């Protein structure tokens, strides 16, 4: 691998410059104002793959296009499917960014930009590692397929149909995704479990327009108050979700897993300090790591009603809105729980208030087989690139495509996170550590070797 190693060292500056070019493109998939720029990011990824020596094209969908890349020249070698996404979360609140979200800036060994770690930077490592193989050796040790989509941040609404349509072309032995985190800055990790998700937006309607709260207040139900009462009903004082049946299908954590979590280094006061808060909060019978990785939740992501500008405005608002996501664990069913959530809320509406319930997306949770040879191969590649063996962890986030790959393509997914929990993903000042970018590329290059050796 010495030629590959040397290439990676020599080209590392250019890799960062290319990543910055990609980060400059505001590919906010959830906001239709950014539609053409989201497409620009897809074209950038396609071109970059082609430059590396991979056949690549855009596959159109009713939403944003999917970049499909392939290098499949070895009849007897295994095939790995590399998944990633070129779309990003909205950048707001804009005023909290130290440097603008789409002007990538290097500071203190990090590159700051929306999408730096989620997922442009991490996804890019698997393009650069393949480039290194092809430019130095002229070939890879195994076959690769890239599926880089543009709708991960809005629920991957067109991905399933693509996977079904291209099911034969996408035949592979294992999938690889880098869209998670290391356990800590000096402790790499392989993620063997993820939480599922259900997302809904609820809009309450009261009077047909905002009313003067002096003239009408006290005589009709206030949609903001009604919404607050619905939200308040979702949890008890201890943070336990009150939707009937919510915990019925939750698989209890095994004693071995609880011990494994407990053995990980975890400094709760440092954790709180990094979040800028003073206390944890949640189900009383579980540790903080258990609550984050292996317990279901129901979180408010946003809400709005009435007048929110400067100064007072004495109205009874006409409407109120809330965005809710639940994180799910095995074996909770996201469709049944979406229906249960809707029923739970409907039953609590006061007179004169009507509800619109929009189910946005959902996916089941996922746990990987910890004894898989693919996982052992990934451990060896990471150990070699990072100089430290990875720990096995779960994560609280959701990568719905992992379940889809199992269901449609019949393969498991290696979740190899090069980022950090402190990289501010989905938040202002998102960042990716340059050393993690470079080590990620190297681990990826080694992984192709380790996976090829399995057959």
Please report, as residue ranges, which positions from 331 to 360 form the binding site for a second copy (by CB under 8 A).
350-352, 354, 360
| Sign for the pseudo-dihedral over CA of 367, 358, 281, 427 | positive
Q: Is 21 a catalytic residue?
A: no
| Sign for the pseudo-dihedral over CA of 190, 156, 406, 440 | negative
Does residue 214 belong to the site contacting a second copy (CB under 8 A)? yes
Residues contacting residue 203 through CB under 8 Å, at least 6 positions apart: 319, 320, 321, 355, 356, 358
Does residue 89 belong to the site contacting a second copy (CB under 8 A)? yes
Q: Count of residues binding a second copy (CB under 8 A)?
A: 104
Q: Which of 300, 198, 296, 288 is nearest to 247 (CA)?
A: 296
What does the chain come to in residues?
Answer: 455
Does residue 301 belong to the site contacting a second copy (CB under 8 A)? yes
Token digits for 60?
């159109």
Per CB under 8 A, contacts with a second copy among 368-427 are 395-398, 421, 424-427
Does residue 38 belong to the site contacting a second copy (CB under 8 A)? no
Does residue 284 belong to the site contacting a second copy (CB under 8 A)? no
Per CB under 8 A, contacts with a second copy among 168-187 are 181
Q: Is 160 a catalytic residue?
A: no
Among residues 94, 251, 262, 300, the one that binds a second copy under rule CB under 8 A: 300
Prior bond of 119 cis (ω within 30°): yes
Judge whether 378 and 189 are in contact, CB under 8 Å: no
Prior bond of 158 cis (ω within 30°): no
Q: How far is the CB of 191 from a second copy (least distance, A)?
A: 11
Among residues 1, 11, 24, 30, the one that binds a second copy under rule CB under 8 A: 30
Judge whether 374 and 451 are in contact, CB under 8 Å: yes
Does residue 266 belong to the site contacting a second copy (CB under 8 A)? no
Does residue 35 belong to the site contacting a second copy (CB under 8 A)? no
Does residue 85 belong to the site contacting a second copy (CB under 8 A)? no
- Among 123-131, 135-143, 245-253, 307-315, the segment contacting a second copy (CB under 8 A): 307-315
Does residue 313 belong to the site contacting a second copy (CB under 8 A)? yes
Residue labelled with tokens 């192709």: 448
Does residue 154 belong to the site contacting a second copy (CB under 8 A)? yes
User: Which residue among 87, 257, 395, 430 is the active-site one?
Assistant: 87
Cα dihedral 79→80→82→83 (10° resolution): 100
Does residue 280 belong to the site contacting a second copy (CB under 8 A)? yes
Q: Which of 86, 183, 74 is nearest to 448 (CA)?
A: 74
Per CB under 8 A, contacts with a second copy among 44-83 are none
- Among 43-51, 134-142, 312-320, 400-408, the segment contacting a second copy (CB under 8 A): 312-320
- Among 134-142, 216-224, 331-339, 438-446, the segment contacting a second copy (CB under 8 A): 216-224
User: Which residue among 18, 152, 179, 423 is the active-site one?
Assistant: 152
Identify the helix (H) or strand (E) that includes residue 275. helix 268-275
308: exposed, middle or buried (Cβ count in 10 Å: 0-12, 13-18, 19+):
exposed
Does residue 299 belong to the site contacting a second copy (CB under 8 A)? yes
User: Would you please indicate which residues are annotated as catalytic (active-site) residues?
Assistant: 87, 152
């Amino acid at each position: 691998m010495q030629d590959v190693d040397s290439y990676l060292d020599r080209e590392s500056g250019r890799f960062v410059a290319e990543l910055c070019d990609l980060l400059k493109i505001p590919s906010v998939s959830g906001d239709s104002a950014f539609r053409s720029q989201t497409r620009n990011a897809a074209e950038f990824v396609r071109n970059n793959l082609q430059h590396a020596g991979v056949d690549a094209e855009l596959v159109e969908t009713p939403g944003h296009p999917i970049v499909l890349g392939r290098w499949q020249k070895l009849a007897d070698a295994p095939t790995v499917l590399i998944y990633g996404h070129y779309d990003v979360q909205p950048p707001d609140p804009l005023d909290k960014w130290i440097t603008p979200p789409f002007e990538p800036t290097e500071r203190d060994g990090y590159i700051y930009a929306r999408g730096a770690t989620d997922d442009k930077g991490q996804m890019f490592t698997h393009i650069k590692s393949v480039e290194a193989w092809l430019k130095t050796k002229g070939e890879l040790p195994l076959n690769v397929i890239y599926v880089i989509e543009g709708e991960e941040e809005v629920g991957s609404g067109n991905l399933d149909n693509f996977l079904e349509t291209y099911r034969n072309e996408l035949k592979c032995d294992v999938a690889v995704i880098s869209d998670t985190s290391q356990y800590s800055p000096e402790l790499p990790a392989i993620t063997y479990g993820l939480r599922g998700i259900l997302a809904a937006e609820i809009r309450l309607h009261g009077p047909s327009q905002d009313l003067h709260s002096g003239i009408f207040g006290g005589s009709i139900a206030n949609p903001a108050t009604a919404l607050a009462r619905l939200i308040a009903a979702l949890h008890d004082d201890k943070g336990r979700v009150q939707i009937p049946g919510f915990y019925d299908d939750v698989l209890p954590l095994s004693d071995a897993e609880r011990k494994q979590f407990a053995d990980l280094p975890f400094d709760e006061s440092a954790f709180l300090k990094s979040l800028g808060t003073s206390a944890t909060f949640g189900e009383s019978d579980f540790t903080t790591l258990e609550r984050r990785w292996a317990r279901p939740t129901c979180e408010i992501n946003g809400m709005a009603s009435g007048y929110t500008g400067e100064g007072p405005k004495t109205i009874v608002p006409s409407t109120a809105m809330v965005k809710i996501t639940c994180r799910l664990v095995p074996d909770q069913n996201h469709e049944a729980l979406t229906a249960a959530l809707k029923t739970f809320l409907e039953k609590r509406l006061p007179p004169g208030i009507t509800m619109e319930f929009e189910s946005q997306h959902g996916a089941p949770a996922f746990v990987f087989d910890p004894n898989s040879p693919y996982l052992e191969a990934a451990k060896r590649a990471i150990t070699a690139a990072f100089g430290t063996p990875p720990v096995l962890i779960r994560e609280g986030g959701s990568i719905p495509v992992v379940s889809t790959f199992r269901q449609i393509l019949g393969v498991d997914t290696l979740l190899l996170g090069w980022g950090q929990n402190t990289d501010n993903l989905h938040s202002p000042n998102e960042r990716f550590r340059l050393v993690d970018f470079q080590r990620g590329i190297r681990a990826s290059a080694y992984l192709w070797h380790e996976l090829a050796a399995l057959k």
